[in-house]
Structure 1
Amino acid sequence: MPPLERHLQIPVSIKDPTPLRLSSDLDQSRQEWFGTKGNHISVLILAWSYILSARWAEIMPEATLTYTHRKASNSDNLQQEDSAVVDIGAASNDAARWWAAILATGTGWEAFIPIDKDKFWSPWSISLPPAPGFGLSYHNTQSSLSDRAIPAAAAFRFLCDYCALHGIVDQGYAALSAVVLLPFARDSSTEIVLPRLTLSPVQKCRARPLQGNEHLDLAWVQGAHHLDKLLTLSCNTRGVHSLLSSVLYERDIACNAVDPWLQSIFAVLSPVTDTRILANMLMRRVPHLAFLWLGGAILDIHRDILQDGHFGLIPTDAHAAAWSQTMQSFMQEPVHPAENGSILRSDECRLLYLTQEERHTRWPICQWTPFGTTALQDTDIDVRLHADCIGHGLRYAGWRWTCRDGSVVHQVSEPGPSLTRASPPIEPVMPDIAVNYEAFEHGKALSASENATRNIFGWLRVEGYAPGEQGIREWIEIDEGGEADGSDDGRSVEEGQGRSHAREVQEWMSRCDT
């Protein structure tokens, strides 16, 4: 089979900075997630927003990075009583000026591409409300501060110094996760509210014994282009959405069983009101995406993801799945050889897509496995040619960047991971949670299952149904307001037939190997 090439357009700018709001009314238990009474998340998010934007300005043609006239006031000159004072210790002139810019109300810095009279801002550009503000405390007798915006590497060093000063390296990681999700939160029209800065006594912070990852620093961000990879992932907001939503996907669930599966998930999750417990449950479900879920919990967008998933709205993105080796769709599974003259409908879908059969060149919207099998004699020729093959499947080959001058830069993936991920088994945790079995909604409409079934069969049978699929054909066409002509076996659906099409589908499905 020849390789596939798929285009992906990623927006790399926004129309205006994203407004942030600071509040002291948020769930105060979140500041205890990191084993300290001090919460520096809001300050660290402001710092990371600059760092990602500064790196963006370095690699985007004709981009500009500059400070504005706005600055955070020195703690000795604060006019607002409710302002939070940020202690940056013994800071250099460049560090003090940088902190004054990122803590300023409004926009203390700008990263944008000027085109005519318009500005195309970096996706992590932000603006702060006038109140409550930040004050700046530092130990430096010099008053001359440079107005030249510092590059991303220098800002990163100042951030590391701040994390080391306050013993909050873990919060530094968490804030980075939140900033990676900022473009997605903006696209979701979610108001972004951050917790106000709360400080614990410095000596109390330093008295805590260092444990585990607190010995680490943030230097890994500078290695192996990690920051650039996060920029690309962050801009692909649909991909970020698909990664977070993949927590609801299970490869063994068939399209006609989506509702019971989702209802079972939410019967467990819905009673959980503690954000820390809920976030931990989601992290354990897909451990290698725990980093993103932490940012989602900080920005309070995790419940929006779950709300969409409750109705079966679970997007997929093959690019993000490949980058992170996340299972999102049955299409990522390898093809199994046919047996006894029949092929699984799931493998039939995969082969139709892999061979790029004329009407199956696009990735199916439905990620849930189609149930049952199809006789080989009823499949397309391309499917029959590869029905007995072993090893067909999707494998990520690399990336081609189309450049402004018409040239193409090819980045080869090494060692070429498959789209699937073999996650290590996790020891099951039995939380003390009361399950509300009424959430299973017995007897109610199964809209998610119906939509998934209709979606995948509509994709698979775009050119007509196999002879043994008359029942599902009649159900899909009648439900969509059409009329089945019964041409496959001479039968027709007449008024007053005495049996609903739903009953016909039920009987037909009972004959299938589900």
Structure 2
Amino acid sequence: MALAPIVVIVTARNLEIDNSSRNAASAKWKSSWAATNDLDHLPPFEHEATFRVSWDKPTPVILTSDSRRTTTTLPDIFGTESSHIPVLLLAWAYILSARWAELIPSSHLSQHPSQPTHQLNGNGLMTSPRNRNPITVHVGEVDEDAARWWNMLLSGEGCWEATMRNSRGNILYSPWSTRLVSEQPFLISAKIKAIGSASSHSSLATSNTAHRYLSEYCHFHSINDQKQAALAAALLIPVAKFDYRPIELAMLNFPYIFFEPDVTSNICGMWLPGSFALLNSVQDPHILLKTLMERDPGLGGLWVGAFITGAYSQCLQDGRAAWWKIDLNAAAWTETYMSFMQTPVHAAPRARRISRADECRLLYLCRCLDHYSIPPLFPFAPFGSTALADTNLDVREHALCGRSHSLGYTGFTWLCQDGEMLEQGKRDMPLTTLRPKCGEVVDCGDVDHDDFDLEDENSEMVTRNIFAWLCEQDGFPIAERAIREHEWIDNLEDDDDSLIEGEARSTVGERLGGWRLKTSTQRSYSL
């Protein structure tokens, strides 16, 4: 499971933006990787990726008093003061969007034309024209511009917009744009210490100014810890956009990873239900959040954000099905062990066999064929080993070269206008160290294992996928005929696949089902 997208703070001011799509705009960048510290031994390589920079709709943030409707959890680790988090979430959404508008070409921040202009009364209150009982938000001693900004931020009238246009002239919104829908209006209570600027007809603020307003609010209420939790939630607003869902929060009364490196593909389907039998036994979402945070404290902040925004539900659902995408970039940025591909391949110059996991790693690092430039879809390693004589020629060379190899992150590059490249976070040495899971193992009571899948369909799916990745190009070694004929693998064959005969033969022909070979083989003894 990935809590992606992990947000990268953009520093390039002249990004090349592709705005040809109807409902999104995107930028491109490349991440850089190296297999060894000696770049002459195996050349470094790059992954090109697309970074979505705008959407066609803002994300609704719904404040409701109906507990049955809320799909999110406000962590009780902050006690009763967690009621500030919805306000802080909206403030961070504005700050991130304002920064987006300052950096993305042809984008701008604007105040909605229909935004009501409330007036300060003698008590420093921003009065509201609505008749429903308001929620009073105390912002402390601030200048008039800050009070107006808070009033704009908490208005449900559309308030602010961070937008750009696509090639057809349609409006696109920043990834963190929100639209507040609240059952009750807000009333801003402030002690005004300075008259607003001449431009106070506009309530907009730069990202730096808005961050100052937020910091003053958190200092006034002594809630700096909630400020960080709300930032974690705001960074995950794009996840709600991907899921096409609103973020539903209780009314203001108020990349964890399901992966272990020692679990191989053929048993992952039996291992995962054990983990979820424990998680399913936890009915209180606050306890569930604490359980996930204690398992991997390094990702605790992201779990807080996932629970606040409701993203955790889809994360757990994907984990139960053993179906989540591996994002090596997110793994590098969080220094998280997300895939067996991140494990180093240690030097073994006299070896006669190689584990299939190491075989996969070297195929990916050598990138001898285009097929192997994309890592395996699932995180669990294949089981067993292969005779080196039966492996790809590049795998054999580097398995015996006497050097260690590992997937190391070295940074990424933004693709900007006029062909300009802007490097960000470049490293002289590849980053290969991973943050260990340092959470405590907690003793627990009985859990319900009734949901165990006795047919183990998840293990079958993951095993079939990893063997397809490993053997699709050159076929199975002759010595592994029994594996190819296993029911988990054999059912991938097409009805018109020819029978394999002989002791050392490579078949060539059209690939209809993904199992026939292409025009060449790089294994010595393969079917």
The residue identity in structure 1 corresponding to 2:407 is L
2:297·2:439 contact (CA, 8 Å) conserved in 1?
Answer: no
Aligned to 1:280: 290
Pick from 76, 86, 90: which aligns with 1:42? 86
Residues 434 and 360 (structure 1), Cα distance of their counterparts in 2 relative to 1, 3 Å cut: same
Aligned pairs for 1:47-446 within 5 A: 47-68=91-112, 69-71=114-116, 73=118, 74=125, 76-77=127-128, 79-115=130-166, 117-129=169-181, 131-140=183-192, 145-147=200-202, 149-198=204-253, 243=255, 246-338=256-348, 340-358=351-369, 359-388=371-400, 389-414=402-427, 416-423=429-436, 425-431=438-444, 433-441=445-453, 444-446=454-456
**How far apart are the structure 2 equivalents of 1:38 and 1:285?**
23
TM-superposition CA deviations, 1:342-379 (whole Å, max 9, x none): 11111111111111121422211122111111111111
Which has the larger displacement, 412-421 or 127-136?
A: 412-421
Residues 414 and 360 (structure 1), Cα distance of their counterparts in 2 relative to 1, 3 Å cut: closer
**How far apart are the structure 2 equivalents of 1:477 and 1:37?**
55
Which TM-score applies when normalising by structure 1?
0.81
Q: What is the SS of the residue equivalent to 1:369?
A: coil
Offset of 1:456 from its aligned partner?
A: 0.5
2:63·2:182 contact (CA, 8 Å) conserved in 1?
Answer: no
**How far apart are the structure 2 equivalents of 1:77 and 1:369?**
59
1:66·1:148 contact (CA, 8 Å) conserved in 2?
Answer: no
Offset of 1:337 from its aligned partner?
A: 3.8
Offset of 1:426 from its aligned partner?
A: 3.5
Aligned to 2:55: 14
Offset of 1:419 from its aligned partner?
A: 4.2
Q: What is the SS of the residue equivalent to 1:480?
A: coil
The residue identity in structure 1 corresponding to 2:264 is A
Q: What is the SS of the residue equivalent to 1:248?
A: coil
**How far apart are the structure 1 equivalents of 2:223 and 2:164?**
34
TM-superposition CA deviations, 1:331-350 (whole Å, max 9, x none): 11111345651111111111
The residue identity in structure 2 corresponding to 1:326 is T
Offset of 1:406 from its aligned partner?
A: 1.3
**How far apart are the structure 2 equivalents of 1:412 and 1:176?**
22
Which has the larger displacement, 34-43 or 477-486?
A: 477-486
Alpha-carbon RMSD across the aligned residues, in angstroms, is: 2.4
The residue identity in structure 2 corresponding to 1:192 is I
**How far apart are the structure 1 equivalents of 2:493 and 2:405?**
38
Write 1 or 2 for the structure with the bigger share of strand.
Answer: 2
1:333·1:420 contact (CA, 8 Å) conserved in 2?
Answer: no
Aligned to 1:497: none
**How far apart are the structure 2 equivalents of 1:455 and 1:363?**
12
Q: What is the SS of the residue equivalent to 2:314?
A: helix
**How far apart are the structure 2 equivalents of 1:458 and 1:38?**
48
The residue identity in structure 2 corresponding to 1:371 is F
The residue identity in structure 1 corresponding to 2:367 is Q
Write 1 or 2 for the structure with the bigger share of helix.
Answer: 1
2:64·2:183 contact (CA, 8 Å) conserved in 1?
Answer: no
Offset of 1:20 from its aligned partner?
A: 1.6
Question: Gapped runs of 5+ residues in structure 2?
Answer: 1-41, 119-124, 505-527
1:71·1:103 contact (CA, 8 Å) conserved in 2?
Answer: no
Residues 416 and 286 (structure 1), Cα distance of their counterparts in 2 relative to 1, 3 Å cut: farther
Which has the larger displacement, 336-345 or 164-173?
A: 336-345
**How far apart are the structure 1 equivalents of 2:425 and 2:232?**
26
**How far apart are the structure 2 equivalents of 1:437 and 1:180?**
35
TM-superposition CA deviations, 1:411-438 (whole Å, max 9, x none): 353464534414164432224x431133
The residue identity in structure 1 corresponding to 2:387 is A
Q: What is the SS of the residue equivalent to 2:55?
A: coil
TM-superposition CA deviations, 1:127-160 (whole Å, max 9, x none): 1226322121222385883415210111001101
TM-superposition CA deviations, 1:206-259 (whole Å, max 9, x none): xxxxxxxxxxxxxxxxxxxxxxxxxxxxxxxxxxxxx2xx52011111000111
Corresponding residue pairs, total: 443
Aligned to 2:481: 470
Offset of 1:46 from its aligned partner?
A: 0.9
Offset of 1:18 from its aligned partner?
A: 1.3
**How far apart are the structure 2 equivalents of 1:80 and 1:481?**
68
Residues 130 and 266 (structure 1), Cα distance of their counterparts in 2 relative to 1, 3 Å cut: closer
Residues 189 and 151 (structure 1), Cα distance of their counterparts in 2 relative to 1, 3 Å cut: same
User: Relative contact order (alpha carbons < 8 A, sep ≥ 6): 1 or 2 greater?
Assistant: 2
Residues 162 and 417 (structure 1), Cα distance of their counterparts in 2 relative to 1, 3 Å cut: farther
Offset of 1:113 from its aligned partner?
A: 1.5
1:45·1:175 contact (CA, 8 Å) conserved in 2?
Answer: yes
Question: Gapped runs of 5+ residues in structure 1?
Answer: 200-242, 492-514
The residue identity in structure 1 corresponding to 2:65 is S
The residue identity in structure 2 corresponding to 1:43 is V
**How far apart are the structure 2 equivalents of 1:61 and 1:185?**
25
The residue identity in structure 2 corresponding to 1:380 is N
1:112·1:121 contact (CA, 8 Å) conserved in 2?
Answer: yes
TM-superposition CA deviations, 1:27-71 (whole Å, max 9, x none): 798464303356111111111110000111111112211222414
Offset of 1:393 from its aligned partner?
A: 1.0
1:13·1:122 contact (CA, 8 Å) conserved in 2?
Answer: yes
Q: What is the SS of the residue equivalent to 2:149?
A: helix
Q: What is the SS of the residue equivalent to 1:448?
A: helix
Q: Between the two proteins, what is the percent identity of the paired residues?
A: 37
**How far apart are the structure 2 equivalents of 1:132 and 1:253?**
50
**How far apart are the structure 2 equivalents of 1:447 and 1:72?**
59
